[in-house]
Amino acid sequence: MAYRWTNDLTHDDVTPKATFLNRRQIIAGLAAGSVAGSLLPQGAAAQEGLTPNSFDDITNYCNFYEFGTRKEDPARHAHMLTTAPWSIQIDGLVDNPGAYSLADIKSKMTIEERIYRFRCVEAWSMVVPWNGFELADLLTLAGVQSGAKYVAFETVLRKDEMPGTRFPVLDWPYVEGLRLDEAMHPLTLMATGLYGQDMPNQNGAPIRLVVPWKYGFKSIKSIVRITLTDSEPPTSWNKANGREYGFYSNVNPTVDHPRWSQATERRLGGGLFAKRIATPMFNGYEAEVASLYTGMDLTKFY
């Protein structure tokens, strides 16, 4: 690992005091791991003064097609998913392949709070206080082999617990992928909760990916398998519609979705008439991640 993510901002800088104290009390009750201070990127996102969306907003307006395609479906149906016990199969080009129990993983990882901007491809956005650990730490535990270039992820598929999977909306199971350097980047989080609580089922319990500089669909939920590969893995939305959804899917206000502009967004919770705000390059994390894409034509590798 090259470096860890560090920042000198705290909740005092970004949220009203009352919210801060409140959340601290919640976090004090966190069982697993240690909670380091709140972390924020130094770039545009930090300057914006991030106020997290409410727990209600974050948990009632979701995309989790395994439970239905409407935003309210996951909150209604995801309770059907059994999330314990849970393990993740880590395989492919790793030194230590096998089934890793989530309890065991969590006992070895540092659980931190990360307040991240989250930008959905449909041009709405929110700010989420995630709890989680760096994916890099888990990959290091598994022992990445030198031939590995990509990381493939897979969501659990249980037709009896996931009513949406009875319909061929997507080619199940939901799959996603990252280039290895993206996966190892300190911003890339394996989230196990939000607002200091265990991950709500509708948000991808018990463990999901969060890649804050990419559109939301890269943040695959309820992960049961991670495979290190030497070739670019398939991704669900790219398979469904490759013209609209590329492998990289970096937030980029200058590259429009074929059917709408990506230049602006509406922050969730602002009501129907919420003002549109400009979407920053790489969702505000340009200073941190732009170097991963030096020399690449981002209109081609969208």
d(C-alpha 205, C-alpha 199), whole Å: 5
Total residues in contact with ligand MTE, by rule CB under 6 A: 15
d(C-alpha 101, C-alpha 121), whole Å: 32
| Residue 195 binds ligand MTE, judged by CB under 6 A | no
Q: How far is the CB of 71 from ligand MTE (least distance, A)?
A: 8
Can you tell me which of 115, 180, 220, 251 binds ligand MTE, judged by CB under 6 A? Answer: 220
Beta bridge partner(s), residue 175: 154
DSSP secondary structure letter of residue 75:
H
| Residue 150 binds ligand MTE, judged by CB under 6 A | no
Q: How far is the CB of 65 from ligand MTE (least distance, A)?
A: 4
Q: How far is the CB of 1 from ligand MTE (least distance, A)?
A: 25
> Of the two residues 184 and 199, which places its CB atom closer to ligand MTE in the complex?
199
| Residue 155 binds ligand MTE, judged by CB under 6 A | yes
Site string for ligand MTE, 165-194 (x = CB under 6 A): ---------x--------------------
Do 202 and 249 contact (CB within 8 A), yes or no?
A: no
| Residue 66 binds ligand MTE, judged by CB under 6 A | yes
Q: Which stretch binds ligand MTE (CB under 6 A): 94-102, 105-113, 214-222, 271-279?
A: 214-222
Q: Go through 268-298 and write b for each residue having 16 or more CB atoms within 10 A of its CB, e for each that does not.
A: bbeeeeeeeeebbbbbbbbebbeeebeeeeb
The CA-atom distances, in angstroms, between 277 and each of 27, 66, 99, 123, 274 are 31, 31, 43, 10, 9
Joined tokens for residue 103:
């309890």
Can you tell me which of 217, 245, 248, 302 binds ligand MTE, judged by CB under 6 A? Answer: 217
Q: How far is the CB of 3 from ligand MTE (least distance, A)?
A: 27
| Residue 252 binds ligand MTE, judged by CB under 6 A | no
| Residue 219 binds ligand MTE, judged by CB under 6 A | yes
Site string for ligand MTE, 271-300 (x = CB under 6 A): ------------------------------
d(C-alpha 235, C-alpha 298), whole Å: 18
Beta bridge partner(s), residue 127: 117
d(C-alpha 21, C-alpha 23), whole Å: 5
Do 240 and 170 contact (CB within 8 A), yes or no?
A: yes
Site string for ligand MTE, 221-240 (x = CB under 6 A): xx------------------
> Of the two residues 15 and 249, which places its CB atom closer to ligand MTE in the complex?
249
d(C-alpha 144, C-alpha 180), whole Å: 9
Q: Which residue is nearest to ligand MTE (CB)?
A: 216
> Of the two residues 32 and 169, which places its CB atom closer to ligand MTE in the complex?
169
Contacts of 252 (CB under 8 A, 6+ apart): 262, 281, 282, 298, 302
Binding site for ligand MTE (CB under 6 A): 62-66, 120, 155, 174, 203, 216-217, 219-222
